[in-house]
Amino acid sequence: MATFRIRPIRMAGAAGLVRAPFHLPPLREAAEHRRIPGHAHVADSAAAHAGRSDRITAHTPARRPGGGPGKLAPFLAPAVALDALRADLDARLRLDRQQTFLRAHPHGKNAAGRYDIGRFCPHACKQKNKDNVNKRENIMLWMALVAAMIFGTAVEWHGPNVSRNQIAALPSEGYAFSSRAIPLSPEETEFYGQARVMKRLYRCRSDAFILIALDGSANRHAVHDPLYCLKGSGWEITDRRALAVDGGTAERLTLSGHGERRQAVFWFSDGFSRHPSVLRYWLQTTLRRMTFGRSGNEPVMVILQSAGNEPPDWRMLLDRCLFLYEI
């Protein structure tokens, strides 16, 4: 890049060396004479530069012997002259200047081993920084996804088994009650898979009910919402009420369908607490798998269904059949 240096003219006088005032040509007229046909925007740019230079010259006060604002004239004149020369050069070379900046790239060297210095636009740099941020975020998301996949595979591979066979602890007969096993249908066997399931018909004095206990620690997909199961079997739920049981609450359902009327009671139990919430069951099983079985026992789903059209008194029945709380 060419460098223009303007030296002040020294004149001998009575007071020594005195700087002579710098005379500027009429720049606006010079720009008009240098207008290039077919490139009006270049000439307008030169005229704009010239107009700015004229305004600076017009508003620059003349130097006065007594000092004051006139002291700035010798310093502003070279800058105005350089501006005029640059406008003249732009008009001759048909250049349209844009605001650019010089930036050194300390981490990028060329073939000669020197740092590259180039022009850049601030908007382009902002877009580049934004792209870099998005790239880092994508890398972090992919790393989190891979870590989650590895952790999920480890959980499935080393899934916790049933720490205590709660279903097998249920007695088949005892004082004032007896039971018999109900075989599973081929569809039920295929659906439950490796999950532990017990289906028995209990008789406790004058009451009869069907018990279904399901432990899904080996096949968590076998445990589902009892409401969907009952609706899928053709039953219509006409009433839902909470029922207090030992260690928590259960839910009592009134069913109608197939020309019959039944009632059912269900809850989820880990051996200490009981609740009818499917969402809480999923959270418990998920936490148990994440801690590899150290958070507690696998919750077991218990469903009691009345065997006849006349539903039993569930509160009295549960008070007499305390073995149900072994699960």
Residue extents of the structural domains in the chain: 10-93, 107-158, 167-326
Question: Which element (helix H / strand E) includes 45?
Answer: helix 40-59
3-state SS assignment for residue 74:
helix
Report pLDDT digits (tens) over 23-34: 444 444 444 444
Check residue 222 and report its DSSP letter: G
| Residues 204 and 253 sit within 8 Å (Cβ to Cβ) | no
> What are the 10-residue block averages of pLDDT along the chain, 327 residues in total?
47 41 44 45 46 45 49 69 82 68 49 48 60 81 86 65 70 89 90 90 91 87 86 88 94 90 93 92 86 81 88 90 88
Within 8 A by CB and 6+ apart from 233, the residues are 257
Short-list 314, 284, 310, 306, CA closest to 297? 284
- Does the CA dihedral 269-272-276-277 come out positive or negative? negative
**Alpha-carbon span 252 to 243, nearest angstrom:** 6
Angle 73-93/40-59 helices, nearest 10 degrees?
Answer: 170
Q: What's the pLDDT at 97?
A: 63
pLDDT at 117: 46
Residue 98 is predicted with a pLDDT of: 59
Q: How far apart are the first and last CA of the chain?
A: 89
CA distances from 263 to 90, 161, 216, 230 (A): 95, 33, 24, 11
- Beta pairing, strands 207-215 & 260-269: unpaired
CA geometry: angle 299, 161, 282, nearest 5 deg: 35
**Could you tell me the CA-to-CA distances from 151 to 47, 140, 148, 289, 291 in Å, in that order?**
70, 16, 5, 10, 11
DSSP line for 50-70: HHHHHHHHHHSPPP-TT-SGG
pTM of the model: 0.54
**Residue 93 one-letter amino acid:** L
Residue 296 phi/psi, 5-degree rounding, is 145, -175
Secondary structure (3-state) at 326: helix
What does the block give as tokens for 211?
Answer: 């018990």
Residues with Cβ within 8 Å of 48's Cβ and at least 6 positions away in sequence, in order, are: none
Cβ-contact 300, 214 below 8 angstroms: yes
149: number of Cβ within 10 Å: 10
pLDDT at 326: 85
